[in-house]
Amino acid sequence: MAAEQPYFDLETANGNSRGERGGFVALAVLAAAVGASAALMLAPDEGARTRERVGRGWRSLKGEAAGTIAQLQREIRKRRRQSRRDKQIMALAGLLIGAGVAALLTPASGADTRKRLGGTLSRIKVGAVDRIERLRQRQGEVAAEPGQENPPVRSIQELGRDPNTVF
């Protein structure tokens, strides 16, 4: 007959046997009993008075905590307002500095600059409208001739080199 292999218990190997768990519970109950006995022997007053004093202490602590929280909330609101004000002041300062630098470095008067800008935008608009019209016409021609291939698409660089386009 073959020798029986020994039984291996993972709980026993880890030190978690039932006997040890029972010992832990017994130790916890014993510690609670010792703590209660010490409290009874060393209490300066009877239970009702001690509970009253502890209750007053908790209420006092609660009131102090509420006051501290209210003070923190006020401080947070104050800092948010200050931060908002600081951001507004920085934005205004940036606007004024930018306007000052632009006024000092402007090559022409405001009226001349607006006139040049308006002319440039008008040329761009006319060129875009013309380009769109040519594309529509080319699309119509391609649709009318089904046997032909589509014309090659030009790159942006090629369009930039073409003197007939604004782009």
For 60-116, what is each residue's pLDDT tens digit? 888 888 889 999 999 999 999 999 999 999 999 999 999 888 888 888 888 888 898
The answer to the question of residue 54 being in a domain is: no
CB 95 within 8 A of CB 102: no
Q: What is the pLDDT of residue 33?
A: 87
Please give the average per-residue pLDDT across 37-65, as a whole number.
Answer: 80
Q: Across the chain, what does the average pLDDT equal?
A: 78
Q: What is the pLDDT of residue 93?
A: 94
Structural domains of the chain, count: 1
Distances (CA, A) of 149 to 18, 131, 156, 158: 88, 21, 21, 20
The answer to the question of residue 69 being in a domain is: no
The letter for the amino acid at 42 is L
Q: Give the whole-angstrom CA distance, residue 25 versus residue 22.
A: 5
The answer to the question of residue 166 being in a domain is: yes
The answer to the question of residue 164 being in a domain is: yes
46 or 35, greater pLDDT: 35
Residue 130 pLDDT level (bands cut at 50, 70, 90): confident
The answer to the question of residue 138 being in a domain is: yes
The answer to the question of residue 167 being in a domain is: yes
**How much is the pTM?**
0.34
The answer to the question of residue 85 being in a domain is: no
Q: Where are the alpha helices (DSSP H) in 106-155?
A: 110-144
The answer to the question of residue 122 being in a domain is: yes
Q: What is the domain extent for residue 167?
A: 109-143+153-167
